[in-house]
Every structure is written in structure tokens, then in C-alpha cells.
Amino acid sequence: MNAPTDAKLLANPLLEPWPSPLGLPPFAETTPEHFAPAFTVALKMHRVELDSIATNTTEPTFENTLAAFDKSGRLLTRIEQMFYNLTASETSPALQAVEREMAATMAAHTNAIYMHAGLFKRVDTLFNQRTSLGLTAEQNRLLERVHLDFVRAGARLDANAQARYGKITEKLAELTTQFAQNVLADEAAYRLVLHDEHDLAGLPDSLRASARQAAKERGIDGFVITISRSLIVPFLTFADNRQLRERAYRAWTGRGEGINEGAAKFDNTPVIAEIMALRLEQANLHGFASYTDYALSDTMAGNHTAVFDLLMKVWLPAREKAVRECEILQAMALSRNEQIDIAPWDWRYYAEKVRQVRFDIDDTLVKPYFSLDRMVEAIFDCANRLFGLQFVFRPDSKAYHPDVKVYEVRNADGSPLGVFLHDNFSRSTKRGGAWMSNFRSQSRVDGEVTPIVVNNNNFAKGVEGQPTLLSFDDARTLFHEFGHGLHGLLSNVHYGRLSGTNVLRDFVELPSQLFEHWLSEPEVLKRHARHIETGEAIPDALMARLKASHQFNQGFETVEYTSSALVDLALHAQTSMAALDITKFEAQQLASIGMPKQILMRHRLPHFGHLFSGDSYASQYYVYLWAEVLDADGFDAFNEAGDPFDVATAQRLRKFIYSSGNTIEPTEAYRAFRGRAPSVTPMLKKRGLLVA
């Protein structure tokens, strides 16, 4: 990378104070060309700060080593958070080029931090003295976590092993970037054009409107189905044309595999094989037999056996239930004189037909009560009633895309808490799925720093001038991501390393999944689920049918998810990656657990971004189920109090779950909130998987 000229640096908004009243990044003033020079400066500055800590001639203390380490790299973090949010939410070929260029450099910088002998010596000295230092509980937690960060990053390896470890992590950074860009390119390129009523048969008006809007955004006359979940799932649910359902389903489940038209260059199967070989070598260098052993050693679960036992406790009854569900779908097809065997692209279609008959309910009845605007009001209202938060829309503050809304967040007393960005719509420049991230994390180690949190969803935008309507599942996703958002916004810690969602992976989904429960509360539905035309509240009878249908198709949904978690666990538990064939491995593992042929795993390996766009969920996709045990048991605390907004319970929830970050060991945090350890029974009951 060429060194930036002085003129470039002087004109670089990333290196100047950010003047927005809310502290937002300078989106309008920044171009992709600004990032590489800014990274060069910020990386150099961070290295100088770290060397200054390491070469300090005074004896190490918590303040001159740990606190100083936590303060360091603020400029770099600021630029990183802006850059990686943009590459996920509003990317471009120019940004992707910078992302590829910087991948190995950023990994090398991380290696330089955690393999810095002088720095680790000071941290290690304090760690060995920790019982005699008189530290607060939070300071001790920071010391323990930072020390573990160093160890898990290779600080204790010998020089040769460290050199190899560095090369591994740099190559992994390149490969995971390539994986993510391949999936995004495949998703952005695919479009199923619907030409006439034969193609559109069965599609409700709301889906037709979204498909027309998708076509308009792509300059196509007619209707387009993309691989965005908010378009593809409704299409598979309602389209009468079985051939088109199959085409769409194969494209959706085959993304990242190089099978879609023009997508051969986006084949991720060799990328995954290389990632897996490097991960195993990484684990071996740490002395672990498999990557699973390495990854799970720093989780609540702790080991492979605990995770596998939980997954199988759910898998066996879920598979049995899915088999019974399939028989019901097959009977529905026969009752319609359709001589077919249920295939994966048929499941949602016939499940919807059964749901309509059994519960007299379908999305055309439900969606008019779940407009996006009303559901946003609902999440804000729940946050206000639980935690006293106020969300003030700031149309004067512009984000990185016109669709993104900016809110100033205040406490009950009017004091500033943070900033919330809501990015709800699908577009070709945005990766699929839904997620929460930070443009700035909360801390107090270097003055009061309030968080800037963003929620990303991928809802299909309604026709211009018309409200965007959500399915009940879409609304659940909105609540889920907002739960993550609250975890970031409500963070109340001193040190950045312990802030917000910087918790163990199998704890991070608890705040998000717990918040989903409020969507189903009658009190919330009556207040916010109102018809887009009449304004009338959702009828009691429709609410009752929604509740009655909740456990319907849970065998299918649980099998979809749990199979993905089991394949992830099995893949990363391998002790040899020689001649690994990803496609064959996936098929063999599914056969070994008795996967019903009518269902595919929720995320096939070639597009399984949780595992291969980074390492955060590698061998840890089980965490959603682990957290569901906690969230189902946790929400029972409100049921036991007799009020979904019980003040005392909400105060404990805020203090120990949403605000404590990583300052408390997660098992202790849950016990402090709930008063006891969690039970798995509420989760099994919620999913209808309790054996009678």
C-alpha cells in the first residue's frame, strides 16, 4: 500500500473530529478512497500507543497497563466501525476492493497486538498478582478477559509458532472476506422474473407489490423475486407454480455454491475447505485436537458434550414431529388431487394451506395489522415501558443511505443515552439476513462515551406511498434485532472491552431472543397491531388463532435450525481436514442424524455466513438454542410476576442482562436476574416438543 500524501491526509474527513451533533460519522464527506490512507495513519498511531505502554519503565499497574490498553486505538476503532458497517450495509466495488486490500493488514495488526512480548509481559505480571491488587470486580474481569484474549491469540506460543499463527490468521481474514463477498455477489445477481398471471398465481397483493418494487429498483418492467428472505419465503409459501417454486428454492439454497446462472466464480466450496484446514491448524497450535475444542473452551457450554447433548435433546422430538407434519402436508396435497411427493420447495406452500384450514389464518389476514411503522412504534413503546427509554426521530441527521432513520435515545429523565440507526430494507448493496452492530460502543474509561447502534433488517419495501407490511415472522425479526440493539444502547460499564454485546457467544443471543416475547403479548398487540386502513386493533379472535398456530410447523422450523447447528458442530470437531469435500460432508452428516428428505438445513455450508464470513459463530451456531433455554425461562419471571412490564423484574433485567456487558460472568448474571439456574422445560414447552 502506498503511503498517503500530506494533501490526502489533510483532506481526509476520517482523521478529523466528527462534527455531527450526534457524533455520527461523516458519511456524506467520505469516499472509499479515504479509508486506506486513514487506516495507515490509525494503525501507526495505535502501534505507537501500544509500544508506549509496553516500554513504560515503571512497574505495571492496572491504570498504566490495562486501562491504558483499553483506551488505546480509539481512532482505529472509530474508522473500523464505520468501514465494516458500510461494507455490510451499503457496499460498492470500490469499498470491496479496499476490504480485500486491508483484510490481511488488519489481521496482521491484531497479531502484532496480541503477540507483543513486552505488552503481554506486563499484562501477565498483573494477572499473576491479581488477588493482591485490590481491584474492583469490573477491573478484575477486564484483567482476566484481556489476559485470555492474549493467550487465545497466541501470546504464549514460541517464536516459530507465532510466525505461523500470524500467517494463518492473515490468510483466514482474506478467505472469510472472499466468502462473504461471494455470497453477496451471488445474492445480488439472482432474480426470478415473473412475466404473467401464470407466474403470479397464488401470490397475495402485498407480495405482488413488493415484487413489483424489486423489479422497479432493478430497472425491470414487471415483477422480480430476489433471494432476500422477505421475498423468497413468501414466494415459496404462496406461489401456485410448482416449477417456479423449485427454481427459486434451488437458487436460494444453492447460493454460494456456484450453481446459479453466471455464479460459477462465486463457488465457496474450495474457500470453506481452506478455511477449515487453517482453523484446525490454529486449534492444534493451541494444543487442542479440534477447532470445536478450542472454540468451546471459552463459552458457557464449555465443551462439545454439553452442546451435543442439548442439541440432541431437541433434535429427536423435533424430527419425530416433522415426520408427522410431513404426513399432514402429504394428505393436504392428496386432498387437492395433487399427485406429488412433498419436496423441500413444497413444504412452506402446503404448510400454509394446512394453517389456513386448521386455524383460519393466513398472511393476507395478518399482514395488514403488522405495518413496519406500527411495529417500530411497538418496539419503542416496549423499551419505554420496560426501561423508560425515549426514541426521538432526527430527520435532520443523515446516515449512509436515505432509507436509514436516525433516532436520539434518551433516558427517562431526558439525559442522553445514545443514538439508534434503523436500516430496515433489502437492497443489492447490503448483505442478507438481519444483524445489529455499533458505530460507537459505550464506555467511560476515557470520558463518557455513549453508543451509536444500528439495526439491519432485509424487509421487502412496499410500493412507494404504501406502507411496508410484515409477516409475523418479520415482526419477530424486528423485535429480535432490537433486543440486540438494546443490549448495546443500555450498556453501562467503564471499559470498552466489556461493553454491550462483548459477551460470551452463547450469552449474546439472550437479550435479543428474550425481547421477542413482547411481540406476542396481547397487551402489545392490542395497542400496536392495527389495521392499515381502518386503524382498528387486531381482533381477539385473530389473536387467539395466531397464538394457537404458534406451535404449528415447529417440527420443520426446529429441524431446519438444529440440523444446521449439528452439522456445524460435526464439521469443526473433525481432527483431520485431509481431502475434505464440503458437499459430501454435509450430505453424510445429515444422513447420519436421519434428516427428513423433505427438509434442508436452514443454512447450507456454501452460504453459511455465521460460520465462514468470520469466526464468531464457528462451532457455535448452537448458541441460539442455548439462549432460547435462557430466554424462555427468563420471560417466565414476568409471567410469575403477573405483568409483562413488571417494574421490579424489568429493573433486574436491565441491571444484570442488558446493562452489565461482560462485567459479570454470564452464569452469575443470569442467576442474579432470575434467582436460580435456568430450566430447559419452558423452551421445550414453547416449541411444543415436550414428550407427553
**What is the pLDDT, as a whole number, of residue 1?**
37
**What is the pLDDT, as a whole number, of residue 493?**
98
CATH of the domain at 472: 3.40.390.10
DSSP string for residues in 110-170: HHHHHT-HHHHHHHHHHHHTGGGS---HHHHHHHHHHHHHHHHTTTTS-HHHHHHHHHHHH
Are 583 and 444 part of one and the same domain?
Answer: no
CATH of the domain at 295: 1.10.1370.10
Taking only the tens place, the pLDDT of each residue in 645-689 is 999 999 999 999 999 999 999 999 999 999 999 988 888 888 888
- Rounded Cα distance between 45 and 9, Å, is 14
Q: Is the pLDDT of residue 130 over 70?
A: yes
Query: Residue with C-alpha cell 455464479?
Result: 263
3-state SS track over 609-652: HHHHCCCCCCCCCCHHHHHHHHHHHHHHHHHHHCCCCCHHHHHH
Query: Residue with C-alpha cell 490509525?
Result: 42
Is 168 within the bounds of a domain?
Answer: no
Taking only the tens place, the pLDDT of each residue in 507-525 is 999 999 999 999 999 999 9
Is 532 within the bounds of a domain?
Answer: no
**What is the pLDDT, as a whole number, of residue 9?**
57
Q: Is the pLDDT of residue 185 over 80?
A: yes
Are 279 and 237 part of one and the same domain?
Answer: no
Are 273 and 232 part of one and the same domain?
Answer: no
Is 93 within the bounds of a domain?
Answer: yes
Is 500 within the bounds of a domain?
Answer: yes
| Confidence band for 10, pLDDT divided at 50, 70 and 90 | low
Instruction: Give the mean pLDDT of 429-450.
Output: 96
Are 83 and 129 part of one and the same domain?
Answer: yes
Are 242 and 277 part of one and the same domain?
Answer: no
Mean pLDDT of all residues in the chain? Answer: 95
Q: How far is CA 285 from the centre of its chain?
A: 29
Supply the range of the domain harboring residue 214: 190-266
Are 32 and 133 part of one and the same domain?
Answer: yes
Taking only the tens place, the pLDDT of each residue in 224-242 is 999 888 899 999 999 999 9
Is 171 within the bounds of a domain?
Answer: no
CATH of the domain at 53: 1.10.1370.40
550 to 95, 230, 372, 511: CA distances (angstroms)? 42, 19, 21, 21
494 to 491, 499, 655, 660: CA distances (angstroms)? 9, 8, 14, 10
Q: Is the pLDDT of residue 59 over 50?
A: yes
Domain count, the chain: 4
Handedness of CA 301, 302, 303, 305 (dihedral sign): negative
Is 323 within the bounds of a domain?
Answer: no
Taking only the tens place, the pLDDT of each residue in 75-121 is 999 999 999 999 999 999 999 999 999 999 999 999 999 999 999 99
CB atoms within 10 A of CB 443: 24
Rounded to 10 degrees, what is the CA torsion of 287, 292, 293, 295? 90
Are 285 and 230 part of one and the same domain?
Answer: no
Is 569 within the bounds of a domain?
Answer: yes
Is 333 within the bounds of a domain?
Answer: no
Q: Is the pLDDT of residue 3 over 50?
A: no
Are 273 and 261 part of one and the same domain?
Answer: no
Which residues are tagged catalytic?
481
CB atoms within 10 A of CB 128: 10
Are 40 and 113 part of one and the same domain?
Answer: yes
Q: Is the pLDDT of residue 245 over 90?
A: yes
Are 481 and 433 part of one and the same domain?
Answer: yes
Instruction: Give the mean pLDDT of 573-592.
Output: 96
Are 89 and 120 part of one and the same domain?
Answer: yes
pTM of the complete model: 0.91
- Rounded Cα distance between 269 and 567, Å, is 15
Last residue within a domain, chosen from 266, 282, 307: 266
In this structure, are residues 663 and 493 in contact, taking their beta carbons and an 8 Å threshold?
yes
Are 18 and 143 part of one and the same domain?
Answer: yes
